[in-house]
Amino acid sequence: MPDSWTFAVARDDLGRTTLTEGTTPALTDGEALLRVDRVGLTANNITYAVLGDSMRYWQFFPPGPRGLGPQWGLPPLWGFAEVVESTVAGVPAGQRVYGYLPPAGHLVVRPDRVDAAGFRDASGHRADLPSPYNGYRSTTGDPAYREDQEDLLVLFRPLFFTSFMLADRVVDHDFHGAAALVLSSASSKTAYAAAFELHGRGPRLVGLTSPGNLAFTRSLGCYDDVLTYDDIDALDAVPTVYLDLSGAPSTRAALRARLGDLLVRDVAVGLTTQIPNADAAGEVFFAPVQIRKRRQDWGRDGLDRRFAEAWQRFAGVVGDWLDVRVDAGPDALRRAWSETLAGRTPPRVGQIVRL
């Protein structure tokens, strides 16, 4: 009898989706079974799919073992899961973990480096993939965890970690000597969390957004100024760093036309418009690279402590910027995917799906 399910999207058409039924996988020695419990959906998950081939995001959760052909991809999600069965010491049934999860009922992991903080999935197909995606944090060994903030963690943990690391990198480089930092898709969680981290630290912070999101983005108070994409000519002609989260070629072209050589850095961070921007920008920011650097500089505990402090500061304000919407079940996940793909989720909404 089917007792598990898998949601997948067509790799060549992210709007075409399927929901299949299957049976809960049986474990072999060294494995544990996670039940996916609570996940979030934001533009970031769409980016994983857009870059599924080039950045290998499709490789985390292969469709084959779930009875799906290679034309399908499982877009990775972030959230909480529960260990429901385990053959591994130190990973007991009932343990609750945060990590990278498939859009499916279950995930089989091969826990390694097990300690009080959690474990890593050492499954062979994940061995060469960026390591920050392979860690599962136990709720009991995580300085950033608070039970009453679970939904904030589901939605923001990877995004805020990115924002925190992006801000850290820009500060570490003395803002590249810029007098202004311009962020596109300023209404996105990753952008406004970075602005929150950078506000008041030196350069003027300017957000660019679409007309419908202007009032929301201004209301946050973490940008010195917010303009629409059509208003780029109103930017001050001063040395500027561009942190691009939208990926829109027209915005990049307008900034270059307005600022010329005053555009001292052009950094691809995200692509909410679903247009890959790595080649068009001067450089690419990939959070795992800066995470690796700071793990070396500060140690894992030092990085965890700094992150937890920054996270608690942010968590103290972001609740007022967000309406968490909780839907339930695989069909709701499918609907949330379509809505997020189409850009129909208002920036104030934080979409959670309970599974």
| Residues 223/206, Cβ–Cβ less than 8 Å | yes
Using CB under 6 A as the binding rule, whether residue 162 contacts ligand NAP is answered as yes
Query: CB 193 → ligand NAP: shortest distance, Å?
Result: 8
Using CB under 6 A as the binding rule, whether residue 138 contacts ligand NAP is answered as no
Shorter beta-carbon distance to ligand NAP: residue 5 or 98: 98
Using CB under 6 A as the binding rule, whether residue 159 contacts ligand NAP is answered as yes
Strands 180-183 and 204-209: parallel
Residue carrying structure tokens 């952008």: 191
Shorter beta-carbon distance to ligand NAP: residue 218 or 256: 218
Query: CB 280 → ligand NAP: shortest distance, Å?
Result: 14
Q: 152-172 as b/e, with b when 16 or more CB fall inside 10 Å?
A: bbbbbbbbbbbbbbbbbbbee
Query: CB 355 → ligand NAP: shortest distance, Å?
Result: 19
Applying CB under 6 A, among 60, 285, 307, 321 the residue interacting with ligand NAP is 285
Query: CB 337 → ligand NAP: shortest distance, Å?
Result: 12
Using CB under 6 A as the binding rule, whether residue 290 contacts ligand NAP is answered as no
Site track 46-65 with ligand NAP (rule: CB under 6 A), x = hit: -x------------------
Using CB under 6 A as the binding rule, whether residue 190 contacts ligand NAP is answered as yes
Shorter beta-carbon distance to ligand NAP: residue 138 or 213: 213
The answer for residues whose C-beta is within 8 angstroms of residue 320's C-beta and 6 or more apart is none
The answer for residues whose C-beta is within 8 angstroms of residue 133's C-beta and 6 or more apart is 60, 76, 100, 126, 288
The answer for residues whose C-beta is within 8 angstroms of residue 137's C-beta and 6 or more apart is 97, 98, 99, 117, 118, 145
Using CB under 6 A as the binding rule, whether residue 273 contacts ligand NAP is answered as yes
Query: CB 245 → ligand NAP: shortest distance, Å?
Result: 5
- Which stretch in 28-36, 78-86, 206-214, 233-241 sits in contact with ligand NAP by CB under 6 A? 206-214
Start-to-end C-alpha separation, the chain: 19
The answer for residues whose C-beta is within 8 angstroms of residue 261's C-beta and 6 or more apart is none
Applying CB under 6 A, among 6, 86, 134, 185 the residue interacting with ligand NAP is 185
From 174, 171, 196, select the one nearest 183 (Cα to Cα): 196
Using CB under 6 A as the binding rule, whether residue 245 contacts ligand NAP is answered as yes
Query: CB 196 → ligand NAP: shortest distance, Å?
Result: 12
Tell me, letter by letter, the H, E, C secondary structure of 21-58: EECCCCCCCCCEEEEEEEEEECHHHHHHHHCCCCCCHH
- Which stretch in 31-39, 86-94, 175-183, 270-278 sits in contact with ligand NAP by CB under 6 A? 270-278
Distance from C-alpha of 213 to C-alpha of 208, rounded to nearest angstrom: 10
What would the two tokens of residue 251 be? 């915005």
Query: CB 66 → ligand NAP: shortest distance, Å?
Result: 24
φ and ψ of 62, to 5 deg: -65, 140
| Residues 267/281, Cβ–Cβ less than 8 Å | yes
Which residues of the shown chain bind ligand NAP in the complex (CB under 6 A)?
42-44, 47, 158-159, 162, 185-190, 209-210, 213, 245-246, 269-273, 285-287, 343, 347
